[in-house]
Amino acid sequence: MGKGHSHGGAIPSAAGRHRKPLYAALALTLTYMTAEIVGGIWTGSLALIADAAHMATDAGGLGLALFAIHFAQKAATPQKTYGYLRTEILAALINAVVLLLLTIYILYEAYKRFLSPPEILGTPMLAVAAVGLIVNLVSMKLLSAGSSESLNVQGAYFEVLSDMLGSLGVIAAALIIMFTGWTLADPIIGAGIGLFIVPRTWKLLNQAVHILMEGVPAEIDLPLLEKALREIPGVTAVHDLHVWTITSGTDSLTGHLVVSDMKDAAAVLKRAKAVLEDKFKIDHVTLQVEDEEIRAAEPVLRV
């Protein structure tokens, strides 16, 4: 039997390449969050307070993302052979759960305010929300590139996106209150902000759970991959094939290739490695080669 294992030292982290934008977004978020909390209490606006709560969640999410990146770069150990790369996925999972819980709180608070609308100061509410919109747009720009590569960064990006939408909602509520005096616009729009982000957050939660359950990456067509390996000259069968994501941007594969002649094992492994890298972008590979005759002679356990 033989093995082919493609590796190149430490496994890279997709989120690690976007650490500086995360730090910049965190600084902006913390600065504006403080101002928004003060503004929310001053104006009495639920929409503004909801947006401030989202900003607090953003700060926590960005902090978790940076914490995860720090741990992901720690070296592997005999007990943790992949190191701490999965902390990025755990951070994304925590972000999604916290955001869903926050949405439930906002809906509850909106219900209470709908029954008993408080007095709201529209003009300062508008000014604070306008600054928040600018801050969120800048943060989104900083995180946009990393969000397509890392679930960890994507979680932070979605939270900033939700805040951007929240700022738009607060601006709309402030304008309605200023020109019509209809204060119910505030809890209604506050609730709408919470509901709008649920589908995106749910998708992020599902992706994180799928990775933790070691499901096949969404971009990998497993039957097509198996077919490509079977078409390699000398390969007669493929079995025990597994593909999973270690962390965002890093997929891993293990499998057994049955060959008609063990003299071709080295060539088969080389070709298989090329197929997996070129067609499926998988370069962390462990393959075991088996002799067709020996495998055919092995007793089959029947239940």
- The 10s digit of each residue's pLDDT in 153-184 is 776 777 777 778 777 888 888 899 888 888 88
Residues 6+ apart with CB under 8 A from 289: 1, 2, 3, 4, 256, 257, 258, 259, 262, 265, 268, 269
Is the pLDDT at 272 greater than 90? The verdict is yes
- Give the residue with greater pLDDT, 44 vs 138: 138
Please give the share of the chain, as a percent, with pLDDT higher than 70.
Answer: 81
Q: What is the mean pLDDT of residues 257-280?
A: 91
Q: How far apart are CA 214 and CA 168, in angstroms?
A: 38
Q: What is the mean pLDDT of residues 83-98?
A: 78
Q: What is the mean pLDDT of residues 217-240?
A: 92
pLDDT of residue 27: 85
Residues 6+ apart with CB under 8 A from 46: 106, 109, 110, 113, 186, 187, 190
Assign residue 44 a region (left: φ > 0; alpha: ψ between -120 and 50; beta: otherwise): left
pLDDT of residue 6: 44
The answer to whether the CB of 4 falls within 8 A of the CB of 269 is yes
Taking CB atoms within 8 Å and a gap of at least 24, the contacts of 26-32 are: 26/59, 26/62, 26/63, 26/66, 28/135, 28/138, 28/139, 29/55, 29/58, 29/59, 29/62, 29/135, 29/139, 29/160, 30/59, 31/135, 32/131, 32/132, 32/135
CB atoms within 10 A of CB 55: 30
- pLDDT category, 277, cuts 50, 70, 90? very high
The answer to whether the CB of 291 falls within 8 A of the CB of 262 is yes
Task: Express each pLDDT in 203-226 by its tens digit.
Answer: 888 988 998 998 999 889 999 999
Supply the pTM of this predicted model.
0.70
pLDDT of residue 186: 82
Is the pLDDT at 303 greater than 50? The verdict is no
